[in-house]
Structure 1
């Protein structure tokens, strides 16, 4: 399905002239033609001081910042406020440009930095009001202690800004200042809180699926749509929690100690034949920056924990690798926050992965516990169709007035724009930001009692993140948690985004908690389950509160001795509350379950090395399923048969040098396009690469020097929705033994008769894949490799995503030829609708050893620094690509032993 563009500033043609000017500015700053010395000194101006001493006003006592050989800082302080003040200062040293762009994005103020091309994006983000909600959280919800820490963090950032400007902050500012005379303003606590809204947006659940299903109704029957969104395979892929019950009276969840098979759930259905034409909203959503990754496109994460009964250390081992959009610098920033003496004045001794711009540690461990996160995937959004009049909207048979506000968008180099944001009781009217949405729903009824729709419908958004919450409190509570009880208490406040939280402690306990504010929906006309847009005028479709916290699933020391979360179903279909109808389908999670089980059977033990090896497992489930069918097809064409033979004896692993993996994934991509993509409604089509490449003479194998011609007709040029993720594994699995199924039959197209059954379509896909890879990798299959197709590029998410190549070359790095693949444990994702380029990755990896925290391991995608040309800009990437991990020192003794530079911050 269509992927959101990664990064805070999407590619737009209107930016090109501006970027040319910025390029010229950067070349001048870099000293091109003006002498090498001045260029080097300018590039180095923003590099942080990491040794000696600096003054940091507001500290009560000196703070030490110890950096290791990779530039990863560990901070030592005597009070909480000193600790977070120093964290703000140090993160600003390394990553302020990234922080500044992020806060402009979350506030809908990108136009202030990048001009009129960002007005549409800012308008949509102002309509959602992330920064407004963050302000409400800060004013009314957060604890006094959290506010104190946010204020200290902001003071540290601002102390750095006071003494640095322009190129001293980052090379990007040198260009932006020449072009725009831009000056960053003071950091505020709300800037930090608002980042949680960006997290929640990218992890919001099934909004895109909700739109897509509605668009499909223009061409497919409800039964066909159900075939494209099959039920979760409970019998084959284990949920996170093995059973359990919720007491109807106390609303409290009780885990089940033993596992058992369950029956598959029924397929989702439509509410009254919804057929809203939501293509404009889909397009608008696609233009909103996705900082974490392409939402709704298979993005996920892995985490698992194994109890000491099954480990070589005798204590738990915990692994985590969130799958997010690749970017430069990485979304994560590694850091340790240590109180020299823990007590009432200073309560933190924690290390892990942080977000630049936010105090505390998001994922990691303290001296007592460790925790990891994966996206729970809860359905926390609903689209409502609204019937509007000039003065309001219809609800329960009556007209109600809008809630309105004005938003002024300042535009660098242009005039300010003012928009009016309208909202109903369901939420902001997102269709106001795109005139095409005025006709949404005009051609079809919604619900069983739709009012007159002569003027069409508007679309509003109900989303849990638009209600103020306490997730920022939860971050600090997790950092301080000392046991299972305090961990679960912290989880209660982690409302948005809803994440799977796994747990281990140094005493040997393991656990899992599903937190989050997850809505309870009204029944509507009997089938309101969040899978389709709902009629906003009908009170039967309103939310009825949230799932009680005590009723959310959890496990503590389960009998099997391990817990796996990888975006699969949380619990079985007997759970009384609806969490979502759109789980991940469990391909990765079941593979991890199988790897652990194979290791511990017959009394075997899991080591830290094993945990690291599991993270790099690149076995392809769909290859294991489909390849036997491909090998049975009698291919007469020797040119295609040569490629088919690559699959003989293949073990289904996707190493970078594997020709078989390259060919199979090309066959898979072409199979999806032929069987499903060509049949999608035009509203679901997105521009992508041409699939089929033929020799110019169409007579057979071409000579090396022959010209190859791309077929860019309607079929190849307008690639459509199938992204190749494990939902499509399930779709194909369900029809694979039905060779005459209608999905296998294709319509006629120029140069090729329609395929009449499974084997004809698979043969067709194998032929198309052979010619596609001939175009991309050459005629000689001995030169084919998966890594040459499946490449990672790390792009600076602002000045590195568009414009002249020389500009991109200043900030971007790559490519790296990668193994792994879509829905593999080593989830280097790619979208089959658009090509083989890596679109999301394990953004970091960690393995925590609860027996000896100093023997834990971690790696980041890029490096500690956000400064181009700094030694730590991308120094971890080569190791990351090979699956290597760095040692992770935690104790003060180990940190000092591994320390390379020490900076003292003094009052």
Structure 2
């Protein structure tokens, strides 16, 4: 078996989403008693509670995964409205007004009035859009004098459910292309592999086409658009036939980790706001190295790659931090951890804890004095790119602390202060002995029930429905992407919502794990029984064939109509 073929045998998927209890996925198998044209489903994977199909998974011929494409499918339109009419060109047209009734269990109905322009609902009626309204317009005034409408592709009827059911029976790239023509919203990266050795990629979605307009107001969707000028209206949608796709690339693998899927200027305009690609680069480089070494990649190898915790932030920043001299032995303890660090942000790493505290502090010292309240850096890959550029400019005004008049700080001073402050902060949080610090003590996953998770809920109920927090490794832009917000703290805000590896050579040898469990009922033993294994990077066997699932079954539930 050739090496590229060995890669194709294992098809991993790990979508990263906000954490909750229960997790969003349900592990299901959907098999017709007799699989034929009348009932074609023989598929297994992950779905949403109540949804009649498998969203991510595999059938007997094809496995597929989904990640967020990140296409820009929303625009804000500023509307000139007077007496219920909006300006359109040289005339006014009436807003559409309707009443919507929200049924409340055990309470009175709630009726709301929705006003809608030609572009979408007026959202400034119900939410604070001050940030949108501050945008300057071509005539020099601001949007504060206007109302704000939201144009969003999801507000129009679509065929996404049809797309999922079509995916459940897909056999080849042609079938996936048909799925791409159906999947309107949300726009996703579809990666797939077949049991006969093909791999591929398909970008679907209803993507707006925008005019290119020369003027003071950008026309690419990044700024609010003048709703009274028809030139800024959407000009239809991108033809599905020209959306990015690939089949059997020469590399022998496909990686989709929210990065830009095509070079700038190639193909239809999707967005300029991409993830900066540290995860995709790490995944691709690891696979390329294995191929170059002639290694066959197993289910276990791919599972280990899903849990890879190498920190690209450390690759950028640690060399600069080690250039800074720290004389005091107490203050130098943290820096000493970095000297021998393997740059892996594992839960038991003292150096990873210190580095995270330095990164968080560095962002505060560099940007807090320059940015408005509420706009502090979250520490995502965008901010890593900003800091990367600043490191080569030691005298950049961004380094200067505006709160210290008469002093002009530079890069090295801020790096020094970040390390000293981080050392003191962790001493308070984790103790004086730097060697005993652990990243997992700061960085914990604490899934909460969306209704019964708040502090106002009685403790007995809250403890019943919310699993105990577990310290984990990983971080933003790491393959094991357990994100945290540097402007708030170290707690996990999003993470792998499940992990799946499909063995295309032997489907019964595939593996999976859910974030919390397979049940949404807190009294079930399967409500959170996978949370611990998920945190530890473990997976479970995933039998597929009828004989294998029957042999593996422990409990059986039969529902009679």
Q: TM-score, normalised by structure 1?
A: 0.60
Query: Which of 297, 320, 323 does residue 632 from structure 1 map onto?
Result: 323
Secondary structure at the aligned position of 2:196 is classed as coil
Alpha carbons 1:422, 1:428 under 8 Å: kept: yes
The alpha-carbon distance between structure 1 residues 584 and 438, as it changes in their structure 2 partners (threshold 3 A), is: closer
Please state how far the C-alpha of 1:375 moved relative to its aligned partner: 0.3
Alpha carbons 2:369, 2:403 under 8 Å: kept: no
Structure-1 separation of matches of 2:521 and 2:416: 50
* 1:571 paired residue number: 262
* 2:305 paired residue number: 614
Query: Which of 170, 173, 182 does residue 481 from structure 1 map onto?
Result: 170
Q: Write out per-residue CA displacement over residues 499-550 of structure 1, whole angstroms, 9 at most, x where no aligned residue.
A: 0000111110110001111011022335411111111111111110111111
Structure-1 separation of matches of 2:131 and 2:209: 30
Give matches, 1:429-578, under 5 Å: 429-434=122-127, 437=129, 441=133, 445-446=136-137, 448-449=138-139, 456-526=145-215, 527-578=218-269
* 1:231 paired residue number: none
The alpha-carbon distance between structure 1 residues 425 and 454, as it changes in their structure 2 partners (threshold 3 A), is: closer
Secondary structure at the aligned position of 2:330 is classed as helix
Please state how far the C-alpha of 1:890 moved relative to its aligned partner: 0.3
Structure-2 separation of matches of 1:569 and 1:315: 22
Please state how far the C-alpha of 1:389 moved relative to its aligned partner: 0.7
Structure-2 separation of matches of 1:624 and 1:444: 37
Alpha carbons 1:654, 1:819 under 8 Å: kept: yes
Please state how far the C-alpha of 1:417 moved relative to its aligned partner: 4.2
Structure-1 separation of matches of 2:166 and 2:267: 29
Q: Write out per-residue CA displacement over residues 374-428 of structure 1, whole angstroms, 9 at most, x where no aligned residue.
A: 1000000001111111221112132111011012345567655433211111110
Alpha carbons 1:748, 1:754 under 8 Å: kept: no
* 1:762 paired residue number: 415
Structure-2 separation of matches of 1:579 and 1:773: 42
Please state how far the C-alpha of 1:767 moved relative to its aligned partner: 1.4
| 1:846 equivalenced with 2:535 (yes/no) | no
Please state how far the C-alpha of 1:904 moved relative to its aligned partner: 3.6
| 1:741 equivalenced with 2:387 (yes/no) | no
| 1:391 equivalenced with 2:46 (yes/no) | no
Alpha carbons 1:387, 1:453 under 8 Å: kept: no
Q: Write out per-residue CA displacement over residues 849-879 of structure 1, whole angstroms, 9 at most, x where no aligned residue.
A: 1111001110001111222232111111111
* 1:727 paired residue number: 382
Q: Write out per-residue CA displacement over residues 463-521 of structure 1, whole angstroms, 9 at most, x where no aligned residue.
A: 00011111111011000112221121122101100000001111101100011110110
| 1:345 equivalenced with 2:38 (yes/no) | yes
* 1:858 paired residue number: 512
The alpha-carbon distance between structure 1 residues 656 and 755, as it changes in their structure 2 partners (threshold 3 A), is: farther
Give matches, 1:630-709, under 5 Å: 630-682=321-373, 685=374
Query: Which of 585, 589, 614 does residue 276 from structure 2 map onto?
Result: 585
Structure-1 separation of matches of 2:508 and 2:125: 54
Secondary structure at the aligned position of 2:235 is classed as strand
Alpha carbons 1:488, 1:513 under 8 Å: kept: yes
Query: Which of 883, 886, 890 does residue 544 from structure 2 map onto?
Result: 890
Query: Which of 827, 834, 839 does residue 488 from structure 2 map onto?
Result: 834
The alpha-carbon distance between structure 1 residues 781 and 411, as it changes in their structure 2 partners (threshold 3 A), is: same
Secondary structure at the aligned position of 2:75 is classed as strand
Secondary structure at the aligned position of 2:209 is classed as strand
Structure-1 separation of matches of 2:204 and 2:464: 42
Q: Write out per-residue CA displacement over residues 345-400 of structure 1, whole angstroms, 9 at most, x where no aligned residue.
A: 22110000010021100000001101000100000000111111122111213211
Secondary structure at the aligned position of 2:376 is classed as coil
The alpha-carbon distance between structure 1 residues 893 and 400, as it changes in their structure 2 partners (threshold 3 A), is: same
Unaligned stretches of 5+ residues in structure 1: 1-307, 686-719
Alpha carbons 1:777, 1:784 under 8 Å: kept: yes
Alpha carbons 2:68, 2:258 under 8 Å: kept: yes
The alpha-carbon distance between structure 1 residues 518 and 641, as it changes in their structure 2 partners (threshold 3 A), is: same
Alpha carbons 1:312, 1:606 under 8 Å: kept: no
Structure-1 separation of matches of 2:135 and 2:40: 59
Give matches, 1:348-387, under 5 Å: 348-387=41-80
Alpha carbons 2:122, 2:147 under 8 Å: kept: yes
The alpha-carbon distance between structure 1 residues 650 and 817, as it changes in their structure 2 partners (threshold 3 A), is: same
Please state how far the C-alpha of 1:449 moved relative to its aligned partner: 4.2
Secondary structure at the aligned position of 1:399 is classed as strand
Alpha carbons 1:316, 1:509 under 8 Å: kept: no
Alpha carbons 2:209, 2:234 under 8 Å: kept: yes
Please state how far the C-alpha of 1:649 moved relative to its aligned partner: 1.5
Structure-2 separation of matches of 1:329 and 1:455: 41
The alpha-carbon distance between structure 1 residues 876 and 760, as it changes in their structure 2 partners (threshold 3 A), is: same
Structure-2 separation of matches of 1:886 and 1:799: 29
* 2:556 paired residue number: 902
Structure-2 separation of matches of 1:648 and 1:392: 66
Query: Which of 387, 400, 412 does residue 93 from structure 2 map onto?
Result: 400
Structure-1 separation of matches of 2:334 and 2:522: 42
Alpha carbons 2:22, 2:516 under 8 Å: kept: yes
Segments ≥4 residues shifted beyond 6 Å: 452-455
Structure-2 separation of matches of 1:732 and 1:788: 26
Alpha carbons 1:350, 1:365 under 8 Å: kept: yes
Please state how far the C-alpha of 1:326 moved relative to its aligned partner: 1.2
Q: Write out per-residue CA displacement over residues 792-841 of structure 1, whole angstroms, 9 at most, x where no aligned residue.
A: 11212211233143331121112101011111000011000100001111
Give matches, 1:72-221, under 5 Å: none
The alpha-carbon distance between structure 1 residues 561 and 722, as it changes in their structure 2 partners (threshold 3 A), is: same
Query: Which of 872, 888, 900 does residue 526 from structure 2 map onto?
Result: 872
* 1:322 paired residue number: 15
Alpha carbons 1:847, 1:857 under 8 Å: kept: yes
Secondary structure at the aligned position of 2:50 is classed as coil
Secondary structure at the aligned position of 1:562 is classed as coil
Unaligned stretches of 5+ residues in structure 2: none
Structure-1 separation of matches of 2:259 and 2:469: 31
Secondary structure at the aligned position of 1:814 is classed as coil
Equivalent pairs counted in the alignment come to 558
Which has the larger share of helix?
1
Structure-2 separation of matches of 1:418 and 1:467: 22
Please state how far the C-alpha of 1:637 moved relative to its aligned partner: 3.3
Secondary structure at the aligned position of 2:541 is classed as strand
Query: Which of 478, 487, 506 does residue 824 from structure 1 map onto?
Result: 478
Secondary structure at the aligned position of 2:327 is classed as coil
Query: Which of 755, 762, 773 does residue 426 from structure 2 map onto?
Result: 773
Structure-2 separation of matches of 1:849 and 1:566: 20
* 1:594 paired residue number: 285
Structure-2 separation of matches of 1:884 and 1:755: 50
Higher mean C-alpha displacement, 763-772 vs 657-666:
763-772
